[in-house]
Structures are given as C-alpha cells and as structure tokens.
Amino acid sequence: METNFENQIRDYVSLCVSDEVKKVIENQNKEILTLGDAASFLGLSKSYLYKMTAKGEIPFYRPLGKVMYFERSALLEWIRSRPGKTQESIAAAAVRYVDRNPLNGR
C-alpha cells in the first residue's frame, strides 16, 4: 500500500521526466543551440564542450562576445567529418607504413 509521501514522490518524478522530455522535443526543432543545448545534443558535458571551443576544435558563434551559440547543422557536419577508424582502414594504414618504412637490414 502506497503512502501519501510515495504518491507525491511519484508525481514529482513524473513531472520532472515530463519536463525533460519536453526540453528534448523542443531542442530537436531548434537550429541555433546554446552551450547547454549543444552539450546535450552531443552527449558531452558543458565544461568539455567549452574546452573544445577554447581550443578551436568545434564550430561555434559568439555574436555578442560572451554567450556561445552552435548551429545544429554545423555540429552534424563536424560529427560526420570525423568518422571512426574501421579494422580495414587500420590494416591499410599499417600496410602503407610498412611499405614506406622498410626495416634496414634487420
């Protein structure tokens, strides 16, 4: 049997989850993202994303000099421009390396 407190907790959790789902749905339609939105979109922490911007590793905009914005399409392009290496591409790179760097008398 549930207590009043348990019911309140369940209602609160349901409300919080509902708010988070609404935020995700709203962010799916946004082309311009804030730092927090972009971090959520990329699955990164805000601090790590901020470090990436400081190093110039990811495209961003700072029109007013302080607040950073990200373009969803630019982030998707950035993601697609850095594919992971397959076993096949690693093996091909190893063959090229061995061909260019033969052993000297060993």
pLDDT at res. 32: 92
Residue 61, helix vs strand vs coil = strand
Residue 41, helix vs strand vs coil = helix
List, in order, residues 6 or more apart from 72 with CB less than 8 Å away. Answer: 30, 31, 32, 33, 41
pTM for the full model? 0.60
- For residue range 34-92, what is the model confidence (pLDDT) as tens digits? 999 999 889 999 999 999 999 999 999 998 888 999 999 999 999 999 888 888 888 98
User: What is the torsion angle, in degrees rounded to the nearest 10, for the CA atoms of residue 42, residue 48, residue 50 and residue 52?
Assistant: -80
Residue 105 pLDDT > 70, yes or no?
Answer: no
pLDDT at res. 19: 66
- For residue range 6-24, what is the model confidence (pLDDT) as tens digits? 888 888 877 777 766 666 6
